[in-house]
């Protein structure tokens, strides 16, 4: 209905004129696609074969002609172009370029072909004409030719006028857009004034927001609401005046842009400007903000600050001001800014305001406290650090602190959420890189893919990750970018490669553009064979990145010799495009990682068909050796290439991908880390130390490295330009280095500023070493390069084979960042304190610094003086690092804080609080990304299974089908991590796909009919088209009589072959199935049912025929089939004989007796047995005991007899577990049960055996036997503690047990939360034990936390509780600080606990919760976004209100009733067998009972079921209409559909009925037209076995059925009218009644059956019909009246057709009539004795198209020449 609104535009096109039928126009309108073009975009290109009809809906476009400098015409809304090219298949005569944003309706050739292939449009004979209308005499085509000729004449006349210079100015004035000219002053939208004013307005709003609270706080502290005037008031009043001026300008001078009638216009009319501003929300805020409330105090000498609070309403305008600034920067200064930058600006401004307001309020309450301290308190509170050094002192301050603390928690969460959104890039979709890699790895492991192939797959994913950040270009171009823009992007990518190829040098532009958009991207790792000696190439290759060597085998020793080296923008193997290679004339191998683009031969041949003028290219290629011009051009090209390589070889350079440069980056990273750690440390802590030779050596060694690096980067490090050419010229390298912006940092970092020590040897209190280090701090500028250096080191490690796990590496880098920041902050913080101590040396009252309070510095330091002992340096550094870690991790103990009397320390602490919050948010963002990546595969699987379960519930599937769906998903998870086989293999390129399946399928394909004698390249192409399917036990691969349209290659599992009676006559495995039926093009002669879980590769018939046509082997296949069909017939006869012999019952018993049964060896315990469940749960509890008891034994040195007995029992249990896993416990490996002890024992020895063997070593028992009772006993048990490495595996095992053995479903979210909480508790326990151990061991020598906290005499339980308390508030970063941390060891350990807590607990838990909530809210957000976008679309397109209401009702139904389940998507996610089984459940009986299908077998019915599509009919939709053609049959499932015959009789359709004219026509032909009218009046019902459902009655007369309404009571009072045919002599008629009960979300239950006999003599008396169940038991009665009357002449039906209308949203299954016709044609052809005649004529259709194109070329050109009538230069 939405599409029909475009019919008015479509009928302006001559071919789609109003004389066409409504059905044809509706189909064409539905095929139109919307496209939006940006200004300056090309809609079509001259000389290009595009075949698209373009209808301009809004906007404007210019018509351009090559060689003409100006536009020769324009397209406005309602105009169209491309109809001639669409119909006749010619190239575009002109180009069209948009002037403004333009929306167009596009009918592509692919959609047009589908429209023309509709049965309604058979009269056009489009396919028979070869895909063009060149030989058609259709009136619309003739009118199109005439209109095109007239348009071309006008265009060429305009072109001649422009080229001749005649009336050019007048012409351009006519074509130009008229501008409104006004003499009044206006500020245009692109004026720079807007940028300046936006900056001023943001600054002014911030001034208002900061000034007002500070003034009020100052007045409150002074206990006076009024204050005297000062200069600050003048600033405020000036700003007020500027805002008033702004309002005047906005109401009169500021012009604005408006989008009207498809064009952007500038509105300068004063009244329109005023009306727009006065109606905006900004005007209301501006008006309220300028009201001068403060003038109330104008008559006094004081100023009341409260009256200025109205100005704060402008804070609400900050987001608008930021958006305006973003837009104006783009429009006025052409500065592009992102939404992330805008969000950061808003976040910073709101953070500033929150800090100012909070600190102002605190400052007002704290008399005598400075503003700096108030800001410091506000930051510590808002950031949740909470040192506790500044605390509330009364009730009011406490309440205020609580409020700010609550706001601070929300503020911190908001900052974290915003920053996380900036960095979070995990994609919860099947395009996620990590998900795809995990699934492919599972496939590789399961199918035992060869090492070389699996290595190439991993290299492919590594390349995608490193070079493309995990993004797939093909997916982006296919799904993220519109088609018309994707082609432009492809041309941009491929243009340098194609233009550099001489092969296409003489071709037309349109042909070359088509080549560019037809290339496909492939990746190859280093040393991979692109072309080998076994498989002839069928593609031409273009090199985008990397190096490729062309090689030939030496004739003597067959060794490979390099004959040519190719690099970026080179190409090879172009010869295979024009001829079929029997073998490759040369081999191609990659010398590095390569990105290649391929042009397939089949695609190239099709392009030649579309561009017949370029067919001369074939002749040029065949005569190249005699073509002097080509040889001259080729020699020049080769000479240029050779000169370029010679120049490159003569130039000294370093390749950017060489191992040397990668290793060099590692050296630079090491030197940078040295400078970053050592220099600040020496400046801050090594007081009064001299410069030693060792320091000088290491420093200058690093300087030499930096200097050499500068020389390398500036002169020798080659780079790739925008066309991927390797640039080695030294001057170009230097220019590239300068443009990169790195040169200034490099120069500054290598400058020897330490020479200043010659003039300033000391800067007391910095002595010589400190001064020397201070002047060397410029080396820290290289820190800017650390991220790129780390990435380079990762890449180099990967290239040498060291694969570092991605997610652990991320965590390590986060910890490194935290530690480095803590190190720098510790150095600066101590330096501030030390400077204060030196500045006030000897003055104890003036020494206000934290180091003095901690006793870390002397009271009278001197410079020079004695060097600080290294022991004291260690204490100073530890204390500073301890403070920095507590701040950055937001733990904030408060035992070391800035001195409140030191302004420098307070300011620096404030700064670090901000930095700490940012670091904290970055950690959370990174961890959330890690968690999301880890969770993608399981989350996708969980979403998939949840949707499948919801679908099964909504559709009321029986329990058997629900169980089968669950079993299929389980098997799919075990096999491919929940991804269907055909989707899985699309995760890699076609070349890699063939490598992955070659080992599994090649042994079978080499024996398959026809394929065994084909070239290797054809067979490999067939392999790339194979689809992987999983079949469960009892699934049918195919049934007898079913269409043989698939070839099945069984690579795992076994299959039973069955007769039509279901008798098994053979069990097969590892073979090919359906070969005879597939190649003889006839139905299957037996059924194939999976005996167990199977994996099958399938080749579809349509795919096979298409590949045959692509390789031009159709004729060869016909000849092969004609000469070799006897082998297929022999195989078929053998099977038929076997089936015939099965008539003997003895033979049946023989086959049953020889059935292969998998027997489990005696004593072996299966994985799903109850014993194994108990055993695994006990193992998990034993592991928990080990990981909790061993740290306690080490820390508290306690071991008693009870503990020993428990330890012995647990150790014995784990020892017994090792034996059981070796000999007793069967396992499931890759979805298969391994039950033989030797097999599962071998698997165990290859995986966990070695770890388990170490873990059962009885070191602790031996120690106890020798009298060890203290901590050493626990240390000896660390062997058992290693079992913690299996914790995650044990936990997942218990989770799976809960899911399979109970009804409790453990969701992914629950599992992740459980894991993170258990990790937190275990870490807390471990850290508490370690903290107690450190304090207990140090108590003998020095004060520790146990001594200071007076816990030395407490019991072990109290001390454990105290240490656990410390560990908990440290790891959770609460940071109470009530347990003192005294010694250096304790502080170092505390820092470790802070870092781990910040990463694992605080950030990790937040990340897990954020990831869970994000996934949970995704569907709700999608629904809301869909509705909002739809509303916007309908509003902008003036959609009728009635249609708007229907659309929104549909969305509400899909969201609420269907729960966002798309049945088509669900069924497509099932295997083909499971999909057919679900559809058969609803439709097989209905199709089988339908009279129309009486003449076909059950197998053919199943073939039709494969073509069924779910269909949702909306309320009021007509599924069939009397007098109109009906192109589909519908199987009614649920909802409400009503039929009306030609006489107006109405009936309700029963579930399972077939809707469609063909079905009713078949019934009428079989049973005849009705003769009588049957009226049944249902009165009431009484059922004894009701299930409390709502009953309804189905009235059945022969094959006609009608349904009553569903009633909630037993009193019906409903009348059912039916027309029936009465054939009995006594005019009696038997009617069947079927009573069912409807229950929501459940199957409809049959209550019972009854029947009544009605005659014409029945007077409508009340009848009681007994109802009986399936067993004949009476279950109730129905009271009714029935009357049978002969139809009158006016009521008699003359037509079988009916109008079927959906009364509500109704679910059906649609069967296209075309699918039925195709099946019947297939069955008819299969009966022909000539096997060649059975082959579908796909190849011949293409040949017709080629011939028709050739014949029409001259005709087409003659029309064009006649229409142009111009000189050759145009």
pLDDT value of position 165: 64
E strands within 137-262?
226-227, 256-260
More confident: 935 or 998? 998
Per-residue pLDDT band at 67 (split at 50, 70, 90): confident
Query: Where does 840-902 have alpha helices with state H?
Result: 850-853, 870-888
Whether residue 538 has pLDDT greater than 80: yes
Per-residue pLDDT band at 403 (split at 50, 70, 90): confident
Residues 6+ apart with CB under 8 A from 1348: 1380, 1382
| Residue count of the chain | 1770
Residue 266, helix vs strand vs coil: strand
Q: Quick one: which of 1161, 1335, 1147, 1156 has its CA closest to 1234?
A: 1161
What is the distance, to the nearest Å, from the Cα of residue 1670 to the centroid of all Cα atoms in its chain?
A: 52
The dihedral through the CA atoms of 629, 634, 639, 640 has a sign that is positive
pLDDT value of position 181: 42
Per-residue pLDDT band at 1706 (split at 50, 70, 90): very high
Query: Averaged over 349-374, what is the pLDDT?
Result: 85
Query: Averaged over 1445-1459, what is the pLDDT?
Result: 85
pLDDT value of position 1748: 35
Q: What is the CA radius of gyration of the chain?
A: 42
pLDDT value of position 648: 60
**Among residues of the chain, what percentage have pLDDT more than 70?**
85
In whole angstroms, give the CA distance from residue 821 to residue 942.
40
pLDDT value of position 95: 92
The dihedral through the CA atoms of 780, 783, 789, 794 has a sign that is positive
What is the distance, to the nearest Å, from the Cα of residue 570 to the centroid of all Cα atoms in its chain?
A: 34
Residue with tokens 């020389």: 711
Q: Tell me: the pLDDT tens digits for 560-606?
A: 888 888 888 889 988 888 888 888 889 999 888 888 999 988 888 88
Per-residue pLDDT band at 674 (split at 50, 70, 90): very high
**Cβ–Cβ < 8 Å for 988, 457:** yes
In whole angstroms, give the CA distance from residue 1050 to residue 1073.
7
Two tokens, residue 1058: 């069955």
What value does the mean pLDDT of the chain take?
81
Task: Indicate the DSSP class of residue 300.
Answer: S
Q: What is the DSSP code string of 1052-1114?
A: ESEEEEE-TTS-EEEEEESSEESHHHHHHT---SSEEEESS-EEEEEEEHHHHHHHHHHTT-H
Map 1558-1592 to HEC letters.
Answer: HHHHHHHHHHCCCCEEEEEEEEEEEECCCCCCEEE
**Cβ–Cβ < 8 Å for 765, 830:** no
Q: Tell me: the pLDDT tens digits for 1559-1609?
A: 888 888 877 788 888 888 888 888 775 555 678 888 888 767 788 876 666
**Secondary element (H or E) of residue 1530:** strand 1528-1534
pLDDT value of position 1480: 92
Per-residue pLDDT band at 418 (split at 50, 70, 90): low
In whole angstroms, give the CA distance from residue 1576 to residue 1067.
55
pLDDT value of position 1046: 92
Long-range pairs for 1166-1170: beta carbons < 8 A, 24 or more residues apart: 1166/1226, 1166/1233, 1166/1235, 1167/1225, 1167/1226, 1167/1227, 1167/1228, 1167/1233, 1168/1300
Residue with tokens 């104006």: 328
This prediction has a pTM of 0.74
**Cβ–Cβ < 8 Å for 727, 718:** yes
Residues 6+ apart with CB under 8 A from 330: 336, 337
Other CB atoms within 10 Å distance of the CB of residue 475: 13
Per-residue pLDDT band at 1148 (split at 50, 70, 90): very low
Residue 62, helix vs strand vs coil: strand
In whole angstroms, give the CA distance from residue 572 to residue 1430.
49
Q: Tell me: the pLDDT tens digits for 471-494?
A: 667 677 777 778 778 888 888 888
Q: Tell me: the pLDDT tens digits for 1266-1321?
A: 777 777 888 888 888 888 888 878 877 777 776 666 655 555 666 667 777 888 88
Two tokens, residue 1333: 């151990």
Q: Tell me: the pLDDT tens digits for 299-326?
A: 555 556 677 788 888 888 888 888 888 8
Whether residue 426 has pLDDT greater than 80: no
pLDDT value of position 1300: 61
Task: Indicate the DSSP class of residue 560.
Answer: E
């Amino acid at each position: 209905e939405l599409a029909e609104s475009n019919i008015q535009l479509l009928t302006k096109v001559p071919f789609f004129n109003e004389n066409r039928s409504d059905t044809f126009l509706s189909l064409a309108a539905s095929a139109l696609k919307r496209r939006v073009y940006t200004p300056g975009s090309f809609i079509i290109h001259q000389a290009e074969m595009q075949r698209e009809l373009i209808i301009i809906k809004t906007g404007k476009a210019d018509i351009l002609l090559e060689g003409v400098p100006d536009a020769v015409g324009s397209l406005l809304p309602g105009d169209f172009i491309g109809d001639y090219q669409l119909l006749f298949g010619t190239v575009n005569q002109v180009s069209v370029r948009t002037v403004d944003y333009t929306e167009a309706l596009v009918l592509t050739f692919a959609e047009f072909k589908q429209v023309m292939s509709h049965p309604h449009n058979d009269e056009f004979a489009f396919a028979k004409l070869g895909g063009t209308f060149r030989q058609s005499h259709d009136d619309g085509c003739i009118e199109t030719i005439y209109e095109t000729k007239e348009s071309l004449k006008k265009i060429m006349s305009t072109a001649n006028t422009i080229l001749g210079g005649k009336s050019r100015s007048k012409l351009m004035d006519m074509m130009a857009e008229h501008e409104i000219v006004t003499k009044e002053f206006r500020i245009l939208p692109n004026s720079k004034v807007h940028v300046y004013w936006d900056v001023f307005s943001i600054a002014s709003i911030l001034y208002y927001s900061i000034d007002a609270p500070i003034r009020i706080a100052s007045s409150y502290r002074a206990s006076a609401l009024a204050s005297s005037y000062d200069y600050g008031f003048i600033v405020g009043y000036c700003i007020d005046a500027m805002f008033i001026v702004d309002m005047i300008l906005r109401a009169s001078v500021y012009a604005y842009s408006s989008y009207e009638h498809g064009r952007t216009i500038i509105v300068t009319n004063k009244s329109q400007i005023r009306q727009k501003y006065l109606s905006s929300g900004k005007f209301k805020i501006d008006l309220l903000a300028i009201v001068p409330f403060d003038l109330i105090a104008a008559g006094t000498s004081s100023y009341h600050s409260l009256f200025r609070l109205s100005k704060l309403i402008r804070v609400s305008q900050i987001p608008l001001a930021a958006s305006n600034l973003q837009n104006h920067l783009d429009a006025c200064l052409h500065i592009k800014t992102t939404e992330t930058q805008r969000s950061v600006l808003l976040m910073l401004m709101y953070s500033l305001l929150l800090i100012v307001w909070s600190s102002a309020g605190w400052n007002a309450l704290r008399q005598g406290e400075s503003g700096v301290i108030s800001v410091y308190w506000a930051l510590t509170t808002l950031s949740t650090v909470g040192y506790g050094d500044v605390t509330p002192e009364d009730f009011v301050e406490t309440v205020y602190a609580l409020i700010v603390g609550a706001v601070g928690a929300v503020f911190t969460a908001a900052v974290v959420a915003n920053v996380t959104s900036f960095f979070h890039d995990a994609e919860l979709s099947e395009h996620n890189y990590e998900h795809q890699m995990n699934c492919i790895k599972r496939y590789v492991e399961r199918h035992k893919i060869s090492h070389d192939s699996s290595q190439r797959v991993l290299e492919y994913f590594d390349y995608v990750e490193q070079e493309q950040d995990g993004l797939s270009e093909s997916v982006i171009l296919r799904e993220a970018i519109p088609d018309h823009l994707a082609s432009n992007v492809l041309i941009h990518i491929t243009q340098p490669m194609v233009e550099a190829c001489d092969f296409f040098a003489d071709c037309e532009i349109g042909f070359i553009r088509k080549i560019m958009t037809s290339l496909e991207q492939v990746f190859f790792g280093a040393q991979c064979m692109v072309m080998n000696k076994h498989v002839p190439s069928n593609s031409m290759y273009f090199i985008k990145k990397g190096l490729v060597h062309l090689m030939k085998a030496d004739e003597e020793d067959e060794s490979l010799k390099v004959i040519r080296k190719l690099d970026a923008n080179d190409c090879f193997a172009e010869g295979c495009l024009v001829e079929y290679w029997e073998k490759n004339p040369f081999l191609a191998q990659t010398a590095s990682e390569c990105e290649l683009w391929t042009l397939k031969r089949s695609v190239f041949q099709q392009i030649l068909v579309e561009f017949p003028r370029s067919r001369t290219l074939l002749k040029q290629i065949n005569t190249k050796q005699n073509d002097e011009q080509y040889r001259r051009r080729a020699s020049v090209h080769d000479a240029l290439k050779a000169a370029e390589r010679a120049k490159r070889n003569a130039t000294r350079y370093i390749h950017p991908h060489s191992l040397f440069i990668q290793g060099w980056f590692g050296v630079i990273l090491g030197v940078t880390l040295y400078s970053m750690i050592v220099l600040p440390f020496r400046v801050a802590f090594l007081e009064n130390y001299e410069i030693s030779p060792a320091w000088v050596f290491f420093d200058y060694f690093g300087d030499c490295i930096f200097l050499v690096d500068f020389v390398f980067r500036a002169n020798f490090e080659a780079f790739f330009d925008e066309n991927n050419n390797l640039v080695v010229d030294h001057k170009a390298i230097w220019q590239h280095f300068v443009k990169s912006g790195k040169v200034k940092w490099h120069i500054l970092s290598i400058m020897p500023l330490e020479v200043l020590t010659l003039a300033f040897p000391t800067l007391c209190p910095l002595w010589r070493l400190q001064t020397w280090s201070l002047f060397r701090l410029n080396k820290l500028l290289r820190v800017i390069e650390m991220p790129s250096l780390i990435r380079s080191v990762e890449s180099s490690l990967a290239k040498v084979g060291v694969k570092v796990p991605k997610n652990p590496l991320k965590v390590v880098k986060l910890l490194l960042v935290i530690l480095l920041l803590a190190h720098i902050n510790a150095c600066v913080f101590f330096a501030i304190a030390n400077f204060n101590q030196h500045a006030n040396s000897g003055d104890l009252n003036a020494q206000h610094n934290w180091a003095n309070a901690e006793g870390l510095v002397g009271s009278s330091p001197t410079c020079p003086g004695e060097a600080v002992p290294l022991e004291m340096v260690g204490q100073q550094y530890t204390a500073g690092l301890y403070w920095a870690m507590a701040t950055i991790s937001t733990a904030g103990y408060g035992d070391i804080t800035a001195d409140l009397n030191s302004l420098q320390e307070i300011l620096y602490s404030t700064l670090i609080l901000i930095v700490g919050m940012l670091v904290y948010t970055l950690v959370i963002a990174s961890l959330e990304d890690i968690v999301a990546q880890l969770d993608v595969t399981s989350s996708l699987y969980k979403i998939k299974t949840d949707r499948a379960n919801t679908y099964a519930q909504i559709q009321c599937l029986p329990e058997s089908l629900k169980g089968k769906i669950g079993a299929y998903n389980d098997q799919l998870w075990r096999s491919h991590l929940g991804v269907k086989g055909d989707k899985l293999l699309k995760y890699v390129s076609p070349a890699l796909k063939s490598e992955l399946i070659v080992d599994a399928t090649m042994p079978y394909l080499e024996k398959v009919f026809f394929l065994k004698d084909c070239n290797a390249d054809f067979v490999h192409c067939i392999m790339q088209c194979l689809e992987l399917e999983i079949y469960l036990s009892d699934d049918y691969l195919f049934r007898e009589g079913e269409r043989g349209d698939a070839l099945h290659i069984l690579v795992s599992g076994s299959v039973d072959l069955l007769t039509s009676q279901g008798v098994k006559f053979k069990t097969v495995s590892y073979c090919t199935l359906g070969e005879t039926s597939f190649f003889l093009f006839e139905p299957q002669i037996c059924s194939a049912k999976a005996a167990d879980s199977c994996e099958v590769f399938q080749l579809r018939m349509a795919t096979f025929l298409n590949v045959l046509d692509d390789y031009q082997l159709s004729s060869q296949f016909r000849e092969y089939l004609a000469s070799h069909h006897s082998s297929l017939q022999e195989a078929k006869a053998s099977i038929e004989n076997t089936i015939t012999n099965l008539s003997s019952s003895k033979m049946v018993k023989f086959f049953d007796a020889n059935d292969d049964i998998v027997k489990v060896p005696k004593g072996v315990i299966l994985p799903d047995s109850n014993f194994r469940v108990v055993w695994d749960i006990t193992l998990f509890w034993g592991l928990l005991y080990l990981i909790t008891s061993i740290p306690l034994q080490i820390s508290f040195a306690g071991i008693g007899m009870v503990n020993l007995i428990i330890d012995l029992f647990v150790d014995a249990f784990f020892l017994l577990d090792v034996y059981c896993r070796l000999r007793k416990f069967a396992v499931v490996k890759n979805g298969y049960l391994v039950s033989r002890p030797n097999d599962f024992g071998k698997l165990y020895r290859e995986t966990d055996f070695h770890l388990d063997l170490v873990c059962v070593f009885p070191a602790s028992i031996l120690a106890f036997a020798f009298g060890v009772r203290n901590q050493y006993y626990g240390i000896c048990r660390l062997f058992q503690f290693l079992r913690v490495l299996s914790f995650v595996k044990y936990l997942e095992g218990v989770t799976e047990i809960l899911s399979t053995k109970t009804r409790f479903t453990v969701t992914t979210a629950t599992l992740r939360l459980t894991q993170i909480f258990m990790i937190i508790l275990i870490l807390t326990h471990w850290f508490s034990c370690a903290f107690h151990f450190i304090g207990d061991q140090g108590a003998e020598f020095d004060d520790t936390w146990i001594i200071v906290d007076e816990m030395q005499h407490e019991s072990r339980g109290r001390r454990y509780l105290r240490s656990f308390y410390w560990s908990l508030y440290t790891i959770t970063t609460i940071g109470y600080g009530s347990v003192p941390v005294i010694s250096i060891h304790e502080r170092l350990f505390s820092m470790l606990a802070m870092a781990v807590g910040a990463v694992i607990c605080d950030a990790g838990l937040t990340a897990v919760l954020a990831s869970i909530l994000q996934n949970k809210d995704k569907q709700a957000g999608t629904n809301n976004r869909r509705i909002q976008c739809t509303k916007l679309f309908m509003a902008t397109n003036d959609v009728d209100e009635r249609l708007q209401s229907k659309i929104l009702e549909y969305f509400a139904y899909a969201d609420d009733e269907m729960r966002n389940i798309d049945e088509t998507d669900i069924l497509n996610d099932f295997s083909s067998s499971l999909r057919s089984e679900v559809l058969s459940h609803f439709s097989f009986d209905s199709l089988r009972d339908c009279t129309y299908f009486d003449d076909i077998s059950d197998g053919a019915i199943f073939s039709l079921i494969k073509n069924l599509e779910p269909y949702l009919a909306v309320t009021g939709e007509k599924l069939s209409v009397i007098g109109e053609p009906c192109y589909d049959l519908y199987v009614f499932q649920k909802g409400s559909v009503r039929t009306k015959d030609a006489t107006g009789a109405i009936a309700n359709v029963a579930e399972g009925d077939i809707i469609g004219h063909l079905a009713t026509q078949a019934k009428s032909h079989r049973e005849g037209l009705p003769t009588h009218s049957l009226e049944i009046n249902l009165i009431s019902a009484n059922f004894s076995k009701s299930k409390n459902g709502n009953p309804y009655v189905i009235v059945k007369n022969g094959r006609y059925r009608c349904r009553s309404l569903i009633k909630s009571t037993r009193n019906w009072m409903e009348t059912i009218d039916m027309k029936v045919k009465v054939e009995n002599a006594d005019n009696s008629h038997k009617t069947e009644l079927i009573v069912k009960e409807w229950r929501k979300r459940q199957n409809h239950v049959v209550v019972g059956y009854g029947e009544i006999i009605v005659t014409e003599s029945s007077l409508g008396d009340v009848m009681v019909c007994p109802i009986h169940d399936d067993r004949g038991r009476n279950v109730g009665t129905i009271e009714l009246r029935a009357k049978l009357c002969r139809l009158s002449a006016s009521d008699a039906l003359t037509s079988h057709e009916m109008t079927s209308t959906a009364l509500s949203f109704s679910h059906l299954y649609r069967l296209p009539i075309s699918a039925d016709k195709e099946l019947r044609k297939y069955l008819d052809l299969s009966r022909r004795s000539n096997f060649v005649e059975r082959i579908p004529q796909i190849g011949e259709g293409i040949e017709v198209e080629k011939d028709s194109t050739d014949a029409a070329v001259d005709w087409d050109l003659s029309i064009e020449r006649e229409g142009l009538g111009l000189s050759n230069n145009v």
